[in-house]
Amino acid sequence: MDWVALEKKYFMSTVVRAPLTIVKGAGSYVWDEQGRSYLDFVAGWAVNALGHCHPAVVTAVQQQVAELIQTSNHYYTLPQLKLAELLVENSCLDKIFLGNSGAEASEGAVKLARRYGKLHLNGAYEVVTVTGSFHGRTLAMVSASGQQKYQQPYTPLPSGFINVEFNNLEAIKQATTGTVCAVMLEPVQGEGGVNVPSPEYLKGVRRWCDEKGLVLIFDEIQTGIGRTGTLFAYQSYDVEPDIMTLAKGLGGGLPIGAIMAKDKYSVFTAGEHGSTFGGNPVTCAAAYATVKYVIENDISRNALDMGRYLTERLMRLKEKHPNMIAGVRGKGLLIAVQLNGDIAGALAKRCLENGLLVNNVKPDALRLMPALNITQQEIDEAIEKLNTAIVRLGSSDQG
Ligand SMILES: *Cc1c(COP(=O)(O)O)cnc(C)c1O
């Protein structure tokens, strides 16, 4: 079958796909139709926390899907209660709302902060966000995300967001007026190119929010569930958010999102927010199995250790190819390789040809976000493939 032609015929063209049809996955590997294997350092965009089709997730889903699939939230169901207890008892937050995706979670978090503003901050409603941030694709989250390329096609944008410079506390202070109710940040920016703020910045923002009574929202959709080396990224910065959103890694591959908040900020009342599919038994069973496995097997620790190892190996690759690699940055297993020039697309293509999946997050940067249970041996294999891809790209450049 000509999948490329079929896709072109039937789909709205919102994505540039790699020339690869994936038919099977197990652990950190996927296979195409011809049975060729690829080492996966994209992991469904940092979603497959335990790799592809982890037995803990597969078993949980198989059992639940045969038992009960959907009821609506008018009734109590057990998987969502178990998941809520697990996440609340292992975080600094007290209450949860379950949805289906990241954008829905961050949008809900903004609604919650606005609700708090209406009730307790004289009707303040504006949310300060930063450049390079990514909070999702709904109209409001496009307005929240500080990236022109996502905003420009849809102007005029919904109001109520102020985008200020990333990693600049003074900019947040200057944007704070009587109509601001919240600051929303990713503890480490993911989609924006893996940008790590200074620890003093996040501490400073926390202090500023306390001083002004603002709500601090951490979008941990990408950083949460072990990705940066602790169960939640806020833990490594020693800064607690008032509201936190989760999604990507939460469901072990299944679509689920969550808003979590401290008691003081859990101000929704019945009917003020909702979701038809949110909290359904199947995705909650998958999320419960994933989070429980991550906690019980200290997978966050593996992300920290393997993140260090991968960074070290990448730094050695940089020494070997200083003309290609300019730097390595990141936290845990959320890592970017900064390249010299706009060669990320070409390099990702060479990696694919070589059996390695990577994400060209920027024209001049690759993002690596493998499964959190990745092994040293798999990292060695990825480095070897990346090295070959770099060499091949270099020689093709020369002629
Ligand atoms: C991916 C992502 C989102 C959006 O999640 P979707 O599930 O694609 O809607 C929001 N915030 C961050 C930090 C993300 O990485």
Q: Are 186 and 285 part of one and the same domain?
A: yes
pLDDT in tens, 166-189: 999 999 999 999 999 999 999 999
pLDDT band (50, 70, 90) for residue 379? very high
Report helix angle 299-320 to 376-397, nearest 10. Answer: 30
Bridge partners (DSSP) of residue 356 are 39
Q: Distance, CA 81 to ligand 1 centroid (Å)?
A: 24
Residue 342 falls within a domain, yes or no?
no
Residue 369 domain flag: no
Q: How many domains does the chain have?
A: 2
Residue 398, domain member (yes or no): no
What is the rounded CA–CA span in Å between residue 383 and residue 399? 25
Q: Say yes or no: 176 and 86 in one domain.
A: yes
Of 370, 366, 368, 353, nearest to 32 (Cα)? 353
104: in domain: yes
**In a shared domain, residues 6 and 155:** no
Q: What is the pLDDT of residues 66-105, one digit of tens each?
A: 999 999 999 999 999 999 999 999 999 999 999 999 999 9
Is the alpha carbon torsion for 291, 297, 298, 299 positive or negative? negative
Categorize the per-residue pLDDT at 65 as very low, low, confident or very high, splitting at 50, 70 and 90.
Answer: very high
Strand (E) positions, 152-227?
161-164, 180-185, 215-219
Protein residue closest via CA to atom 5 of ligand 1: 102
In a domain, 162, yes or no: yes
Within-domain flag for 23: yes
In the prediction, which pLDDT does 216 show? 99
Last residue of a domain, one of 296, 323, 354: 296
CA nearest neighbour of 242 among 94, 382, 345: 94
Q: Are residues 18 and 61 in the same domain?
A: no
Answer yes or no: are the C-beta atoms of 49 and 249 closer than 8 Å.
yes
Task: Determine if ligand 1 sits within 6 Å of the CB of residue 135.
Answer: yes
| φ, ψ for residue 304, nearest 5 deg | -65, -50
- Asked if the structure places residue 193 within a domain, the reply is yes
Confidence bin at 309 (pLDDT 50/70/90): very high
Give the chain's mean pLDDT.
97
Q: Report whether residue 134 contacts ligand 1, using a CB cutoff of 6 Å.
A: yes
Q: Is residue 371 part of a domain?
A: no
The arithmetic mean of pLDDT across residues 109-123, rounded, is 98
User: What pLDDT digit, counting tens, does each position of 6-60 carry?
Assistant: 999 999 999 989 999 999 999 999 999 999 999 999 999 999 999 999 999 999 9
Q: Is 221 annotated as a binding residue?
A: yes
> Are residues 261 and 194 both part of a single domain?
yes
Q: Answer for the pair 273, 267: CB distance below 8 angstroms, yes or no.
A: no
Three-state SS at 2 = coil
Q: Is the pLDDT of residue 395 over 90?
A: no
CA distances from residue 368 to 171, 242, 268, 337 in whole angstroms, order as listed: 30, 29, 37, 8
CATH number of the domain within which 148 lies: 3.40.640.10
Both 166 and 26 in a single domain? Answer: no
Q: Which domain holds residue 7?
A: 1-39
Residues catalogued as catalytic: 134, 219, 248
Domain match, 77 and 123 both? yes
Q: Does 196 lie in the same domain as 145?
A: yes
| Residue 122 pLDDT exceeds 70 | yes
One domain for residues 200 and 131: yes
Write the pLDDT tens digit of every residue in 316-359. Answer: 999 999 999 999 999 999 999 999 999 999 999 999 999 999 99
Residue from 86, 311, 330, 136 nearest 228 by CA: 330
Same domain, 64 and 28: no
Are 34 and 177 found together in one domain? Answer: no
- 221 touches 362 (CB < 8 A): no
**Which residues on adjacent β-strands are paired with residue 368?**
335
Entry field: residues in the chain: 399
For the CA atoms of the chain, what is the radius of gyration? 21
**For residues 359 and 42, is the Cβ–Cβ distance under 8 A?**
yes
Taking the alpha carbons at both ends of the chain, their separation in whole angstroms is: 34
Candidates 336, 337, 384, 326; CA nearest to 356 is 384
**Token couple for 69:** 């699939």
Q: Is 360 left (phi over 0), alpha (psi -120 to 50) or beta?
A: beta
Q: Is the pLDDT of residue 247 over 50?
A: yes
User: 151 and 33: one domain?
Assistant: no
Contact yes or no for 51/57 (Cβ under 8 A): no
| Residue 399 confidence (pLDDT) | 39
In the prediction, which pLDDT does 128 show? 98
Q: Which of 101, 106, 166, 221 to mutate to test the pocket of ligand 1 (most atoms within 8 A of CB)?
A: 221
Inform me whether the pLDDT recorded for 282 exceeds 90.
yes
